[in-house]
Structures are given as structure tokens and as C-alpha cells.
């Protein structure tokens, strides 16, 4: 069976989102994928080619002022060279974001990622988790404690460093990585079956 290749294209301004990116990587790797972490503000041509050769690309950024960071927006605009050639068409895509507030307009960032993916002709993979921490029996340690469906959302207090990223948000990001890897494996097998 072919090993799926998952690349995580992300920006992290202060290190919090990098912790989430690493958790997505760990989840995808645990599910049997080959994984590449790519910092979009340091991307080089070899890393663009890694993205081109991936089965899935997971987009990640902190949410600043209601959207992805400027560094991520620059990467998205630069990806237009791939758009012209359909280089990412029919790949899988997913996303994650971190902010200081529980909501923090992270949904807008995730929707921005999904729109970027749609423009490239990619297939969006959602989180696939019911919301946690929404009843008297729930707790902030539940998976998907912030109740997002579109992707993995994390909240870190604005006066804490990367060590303050919540363990439930890390676990939720690991879940997303595993889900993307498993979905990629299914897509690869399906394409092989259709080709046969």
C-alpha cells in the first residue's frame, strides 16, 4: 500500500501555532503518513516541490485581526503559480488556527483556507469531531473543546508562550493529522482501484 504524503504549510508568529503544526504532524505520522513541515515564511523552491508532490496539504496560521497572518497571505498569493498549472488540483486540504480568544474569529481563517483550497480544486477534510466541553459533564480537556467543525482550532492565553498551548488543542490537532492521513490513504486506494 502506498504511504500517503502530507505536508503542513504554516506560519507561526510567536511559536504557538508551531506547536499545533507539530501536533498535526505527529497525528499524521502516527497514522502512517510521510509528513513535511513547511514554514511558509521561509519556503524555498524545493519545499514548493514537496507541496506539489503531496497527497494532502494542511494549511495553518494564527488568526490575526480576523484572518490568517500576512505571511500566510503572501504564501497563498504566491501559490497562484500552482493555480495556473492545476498543480494542486484534486489534492486533499485541511486547516488549523490559533488565537488568544476562545472564538477569536478563527472560523474566518479556516474558511479562508477552505476558499484557497477550493480555488486550487482541492478537496477539504473537516475535523470530524463532535464538539466537546458543551455540557455539564464536559470539560476543557475534551477533544474539540472549542466546538469547531471546519478544522482544528486552538486557544492560547495572550500572556503565555508556546508552552501554554492547551493539551486538548494539541490532541485535537493530532486527531486532524490522523484524519487527513487516513483520508489520503483512502483516496490513494480509490484512485488505484479506478485506474485498475
Contacts of 75 (CB under 8 A, 6+ apart): 9, 11, 40, 41, 43
Over its length of 196 residues, how does the chain's per-residue pLDDT go in tens digits? 689 999 999 999 999 999 999 999 999 999 999 999 999 999 999 999 999 999 999 999 999 999 999 999 999 999 999 999 999 999 999 999 999 999 999 999 999 999 999 999 999 999 999 999 999 999 999 999 999 999 999 999 999 999 999 999 999 999 999 999 999 999 999 999 999 8
For residue 1, what pLDDT is reported? 64
User: What pTM was computed for the model?
Assistant: 0.98
For residue 2, what pLDDT is reported? 85
Long-range contacts of 65-68 (CB under 8 A, 24+ apart): 66/105, 66/108, 66/109, 67/105, 67/108, 67/109, 67/112, 68/11, 68/97, 68/109, 68/112, 68/113
From the list 30, 58, 41, 48, the residue with the least C-alpha distance to 180 is: 58
Q: Enumerate the β-bridge partners of residue 7.
A: 36, 57
Contact 143, 175 (CB under 8 A): yes
Contact 141, 168 (CB under 8 A): yes
Contact 147, 134 (CB under 8 A): yes
Classify burial at 135, counting beta carbons within 10 Å of its beta carbon; exposed 0-12, middle 13-18, buried 19 or more: exposed
* Separation between Cα atoms, residue 129 and residue 148, nearest integer Å: 8
Amino acid at each position: 500500500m502506498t504511504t500517503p504524503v502530507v505536508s503542513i504549510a504554516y506560519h507561526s508568529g510567536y511559536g504557538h501555532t508551531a506547536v499545533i503544526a507539530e501536533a498535526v504532524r505527529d497525528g499524521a505520522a502516527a497514522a502512517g503518513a510521510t509528513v513535511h513541515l513547511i514554514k511558509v515564511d521561509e519556503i524555498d523552491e524545493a519545499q514548493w516541490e514537496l507541496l506539489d508532490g503531496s497527497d494532502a496539504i494542511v494549511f495553518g496560521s494564527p488568526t490575526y485581526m480576523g484572518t490568517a497572518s500576512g505571511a500566510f497571505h503572501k504564501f497563498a498569493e504566491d501559490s497562484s503559480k500552482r493555480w495556473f498549472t492545476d498543480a494542486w488540483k484534486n489534492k486533499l486540504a485541511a486547516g488549523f488556527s490559533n488565537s488568544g480568544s476562545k472564538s477569536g474569529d478563527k472560523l474566518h481563517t479556516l474558511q479562508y483556507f477552505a476558499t484557497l483550497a477550493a480555488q486550487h480544486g482541492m478537496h477539504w477534510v473537516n475535523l470530524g469531531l463532535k464538539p466537546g466541553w458543551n455540557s455539564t459533564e464536559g470539560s476543557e480537556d475534551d477533544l474539540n473543546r472549542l466546538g469547531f467543525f471546519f478544522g482544528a482550532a486552538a486557544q492560547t492565553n495572550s500572556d503565555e508562550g508556546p508552552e501554554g498551548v492547551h493539551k486538548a488543542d494539541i490532541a485535537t490537532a493530532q486527531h486532524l493529522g490522523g484524519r487527513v492521513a487516513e483520508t489520503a490513504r483512502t483516496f490513494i486506494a480509490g484512485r488505484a482501484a479506478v485506474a485498475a
